[in-house]
């Protein structure tokens, strides 16, 4: 489909700055030239796109809001969102790679790291010369990270870390891992592990039907000696990892709009070209109903994200507001991917078209960074003041 058919039904562009549009358009054209030609093959073969992280670094997609002093481009939150939207129009795996590096690795180092840690890691993470991953989820504790079992003890001149993390995006290819574990006082702390530390391994998770162009794996800690200077000094408690999730969930809210747009634009073009009963299938009311609903839902999601971005720029976005956008927009996108796949009939299951890949990817997106139901309960708690989790 022509890029000019990408919808802006409520003239949301008029609310963006020239810089926002320039950034968005340059990432859009990078996705067209670098991601689109390779993504089906990567997903079919369950491999990542070679050189992806360096390319993401070159276009400023790693740590977009990290200040220039530490190697980032120092952009605002709306620019960050627009970058995520464009990346996920290519594939959720590409957005995931940028989300994890930006919000889950660079953000905690920037926000909670020592000056030495920031100088040592942030510029290399921003350029894509170093790849990071984020270890919070464990085999026995996903939605409930406060019950984590990974533990470290103080050995005088170092910490000794034991435990395991599961479902970790990019763990098999990461140079460093930001890991959350409990100290002897039971308080959650963050620490930076480097590949090569004795007792630290990163087994790959095989046979996923979702996010096939992204590597997922475990982090296993078997008496890992962690130097004391690798502890993130400036945060303690679950709010450390959860504040990183606020940033990543915000990016996902924008990202999935990209996946929905890719499905919508493909469906518009296909239904106008494909004829049955002597007419383009776009002339049937049932198909038009679907297209009209897709456009309505995409437009609502765009407006939700834009205002959330304004709140975030003003440091006024609450975690519950972010949960609402993550939950709403991911459901919007997965519904559009599934419905639009049907509109292509048999062709909808093929790799030449993006719907099946987006629909399968979005099964992970609706699960990670807090499941659909967990975000509903966060909204419920915000309304009632009553925690319905435990
Ligand atoms: P609770 O007692 O409510 O809170 C504990 C402390 O944390 C604070 N807090 C937050 N702080 C910042 N941001 C947030 N969103 C926060 N939510 C809570 C809270 O104020 C409290 O602070 P303090 O100072 O009083 O101690 O915690 P809880 O144990 O009841 O759990 C709450 C719950 C269920 C909402 C939370 O645990 C949760 O969000 N669970 C979902 C887990 C999750 O999202 N995991 C994601 C793993 S990472 C991932 O999926 C990456 S995929 C990346 C990719 O490939 O793109
Ligand atoms: P569970 O917590 O076991 O949940 C199972 C079901 O129970 C869900 O439907 C859930 O909504 C429901 N449930 C749980 N508690 C409640 C409750 N109180 N009330 C009602 N229903 C409830 N994690 C990381 O730390 N780093 C990563 O990089 C990362 N990348 C990921 C990549 C992929 C591809 C995937 C699939 C996951 C990734 N995750 C990562 C993990 C992800 O965050 C977890 O899968 C997610 O938080 C859910 O945890 P769980 O899988 O253990 O499910």
Q: Answer yes or no: are the C-beta atoms of 49 and 42 closer than 8 Å.
A: yes
Q: Ligand 2 atom closest to Cα of 170?
A: 28
Task: Kindly report, residue by residue over 118-172, the tens digit of the pLDDT.
Answer: 999 999 999 999 999 999 999 999 999 999 999 999 999 999 999 999 999 999 9
Q: Which of 136, 240, 374 to mutate to test the pocket of ligand 2 (most atoms within 8 A of CB)?
A: 374
Instruction: For residue 69, report the distance from its CA to the centre of ligand 1, in Å.
Output: 29
- Verify whether residue 236 is a known catalytic residue: no
Closest ligand to C-alpha of residue 236 is 1
Residues 6 or more apart whose CB falls under 8 angstroms from that of 377 comprise 388, 389
Q: Answer yes or no: are the C-beta atoms of 249 and 84 closer than 8 Å.
A: no
User: What mean pLDDT value characterizes the chain?
Assistant: 98
Instruction: For residue 187, report the distance from its CA to the centre of ligand 1, in Å.
Output: 14
Radius of gyration of the chain (CA): 21
Task: Give, as one character, the DSSP assignment of residue 104.
Answer: I
Q: Quick one: pLDDT band at residue 390, thresholds 50, 70, 90?
A: confident
pLDDT of residue 241: 98
Q: Answer yes or no: are the C-beta atoms of 190 and 231 closer than 8 Å.
A: yes
Residues 6 or more apart whose CB falls under 8 angstroms from that of 97 comprise 48, 52, 53, 56, 169, 170, 214
Q: Ligand 2 atom closest to Cα of 211?
A: 34
Q: Give exposure, 26-46, as e/b (b: 16+ Cβ within 10 Å).
A: ebbebbeebbeebbbebbeee
**Lining residues, ligand 1, CB within 6 Å:** 96, 99-100, 134, 136-137, 143, 145-146, 169, 237-239, 242-243, 245-246, 248, 319, 368-370, 374, 378, 389
Helix, strand or coil for residue 159? Answer: strand
Percent of the chain with pLDDT strictly greater than 70: 100
According to DSSP, the residues that pair with 162 across neighbouring strands are 151
Closest ligand to C-alpha of residue 369 is 1
pLDDT of residue 205: 98
Instruction: For residue 171, report the distance from its CA to the centre of ligand 1, in Å.
Output: 21
C-alpha distances out from residue 8 to 13, 194, 281, Å: 7, 44, 24
Q: Which of 106, 216, 242 to mutate to test the pocket of ligand 1 (most atoms within 8 A of CB)?
A: 242
What is d(CA 175, CA 171) in angstroms, rounded to the nearest whole number? 8
Closest ligand to C-alpha of residue 364 is 2
Task: Kindly report, residue by residue over 167-202, the tens digit of the pLDDT.
Answer: 999 999 999 999 999 999 999 999 999 999 999 999
Tell me which H or E stretch contains 42.
Answer: helix 36-45
Q: For ligand 2, atom 43, which residue shows the shortest CA distance?
A: 368
Helix and strand numbers, DSSP H then E, in the chain: 12, 9
pLDDT of residue 306: 98
Task: Give, as one character, the DSSP assignment of residue 155.
Answer: -
Helix, strand or coil for residue 275? Answer: strand
Q: Which of 245, 318, 373 to mutate to test the pocket of ligand 1 (most atoms within 8 A of CB)?
A: 245
Q: Ligand 1 atom closest to Cα of 244?
A: 13
Q: Strand 176-182 and strand 132-135: pairing?
A: parallel
Residue 260, token pair as written in the block: 């929905």
Closest ligand to C-alpha of residue 248 is 1
Q: What DSSP string describes 191-247?
A: EEEETT-TTEE-PBPP--SSSTTS-EEEEEEEEEEEEGGGB-TT--STHHHHHHHHH
Predicted-complex ipTM score: 0.98
pLDDT of residue 147: 98
Mean pLDDT of 5-20: 97
Residues 6 or more apart whose CB falls under 8 angstroms from that of 25 comprise none
Q: Answer yes or no: are the C-beta atoms of 171 and 133 closer than 8 Å.
A: yes
Mean pLDDT of 5-32: 98
Q: For ligand 2, atom 49, which residue shows the shortest CA distance?
A: 142
Mean pLDDT of 61-68: 98
Task: Kindly report, residue by residue over 80-91, the tens digit of the pLDDT.
Answer: 999 999 999 999
Instruction: For residue 142, report the distance from its CA to the centre of ligand 2, in Å.
Output: 4
Phi/psi for 54 (5° steps) reads -65, -40
Ligand 2 lined by 294 (C-beta under 6 Å): no
What is d(CA 213, CA 44) in angstroms, rounded to the nearest whole number? 8
Ligand 2 lined by 167 (C-beta under 6 Å): yes
Mean pLDDT of 6-15: 97
Q: For ligand 2, atom 5, which residue shows the shortest CA distance?
A: 143
What is d(CA 245, CA 333) in angstroms, rounded to the nearest whole number? 20
pLDDT of residue 355: 98
Task: Kindly report, residue by residue over 92-101, the tens digit of the pLDDT.
Answer: 999 999 999 9
Instruction: For residue 158, report the distance from its CA to the centre of ligand 1, in Å.
Output: 28
What is d(CA 108, CA 277) in angstroms, rounded to the nearest whole number? 58
Tell me which H or E stretch contains 270.
Answer: helix 239-273
pLDDT of residue 383: 98
pLDDT of residue 118: 98
Ligand 2 lined by 134 (C-beta under 6 Å): yes
Instruction: For residue 353, report the distance from its CA to the centre of ligand 2, in Å.
Output: 29
Phi/psi for 201 (5° steps) reads -130, 160
Q: For ligand 2, atom 50, which residue shows the shortest CA distance?
A: 142
Among 86, 88, 339, 369, which one carries the catalytic annotation?
369
Phi/psi for 276 (5° steps) reads -140, 150
Residue of higher predicted confidence among 285 and 48 = 285
Give the count of alpha carbons within 13 A of 360, CB side only: 22
């Amino acid at each position: 489909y022509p890029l000019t058919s990408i919808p802006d039904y409520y003239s949301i562009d008029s609310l963006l700055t020239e810089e926002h549009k320039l950034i968005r358009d340059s990432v859009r054209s990078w996705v067209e030239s670098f991601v689109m030609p390779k993504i089906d093959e990567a997903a079919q073969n369950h491999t990542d796109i070679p050189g992806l992280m360096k390319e993401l670094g070159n276009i400023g997609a790693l740590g977009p809001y990290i200040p220039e002093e530490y190697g980032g481009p120092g952009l605002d939150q709306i620019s960050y969102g627009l970058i995520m939207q464009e990346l996920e129009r290519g594939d959720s795996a590409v957005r995931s790679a940028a989300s994890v590096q930006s919000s889950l690795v660079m953000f905690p180092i920037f926000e909670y790291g020592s000056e030495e840690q920031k100088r040592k890691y942030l510029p290399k993470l921003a350029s894509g010369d170093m790849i990071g991953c984020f270890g919070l989820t464990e085999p026995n504790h996903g939605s409930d990270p406060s019950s984590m079992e990974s533990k470290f003890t103080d050995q005088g001149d170092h910490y000794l870390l034991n435990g395991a993390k599961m479902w970790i995006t990019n763990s098999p290819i990461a140079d460093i891992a930001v890991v959350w574990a409990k100290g002897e006082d039971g308080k959650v702390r963050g620490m930076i592990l480097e590949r090569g530390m004795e007792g630290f391994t990163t087994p790959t998770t095989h046979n996923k039907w979702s996010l096939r162009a992204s590597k997922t794996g475990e982090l296993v800690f078997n008496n890992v000696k962690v130097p004391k200077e690798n502890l993130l000094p400036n945060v303690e408690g679950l709010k450390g990892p959860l504040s990183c999730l606020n940033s990543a969930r915000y990016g996902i809210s924008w990202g999935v709009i990209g996946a929905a747009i890719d499905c919508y634009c493909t469906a518009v073009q296909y239904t106008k070209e494909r004829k049955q009963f002597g007419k383009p299938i776009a002339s049937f009311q049932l198909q038009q109903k679907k297209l009209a609903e897709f456009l309505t839902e995409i437009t609502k999601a765009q407006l939700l994200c834009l205002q959330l971005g304004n709140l975030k720029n003003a440091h006024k976005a609450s975690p519950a507001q972010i949960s609402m956008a993550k939950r709403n927009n991911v459901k919007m996108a997965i519904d559009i991917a599934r419905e639009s796949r049907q509109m292509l009939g048999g062709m909808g299951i093929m790799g030449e078209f993006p719907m099946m890949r987006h629909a399968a990817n979005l099964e992970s997106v609706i699960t990670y960074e807090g499941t659909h139901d967990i975000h509903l309960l966060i909204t419920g708690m915000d309304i009632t003041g009553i925690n319905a989790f435990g």
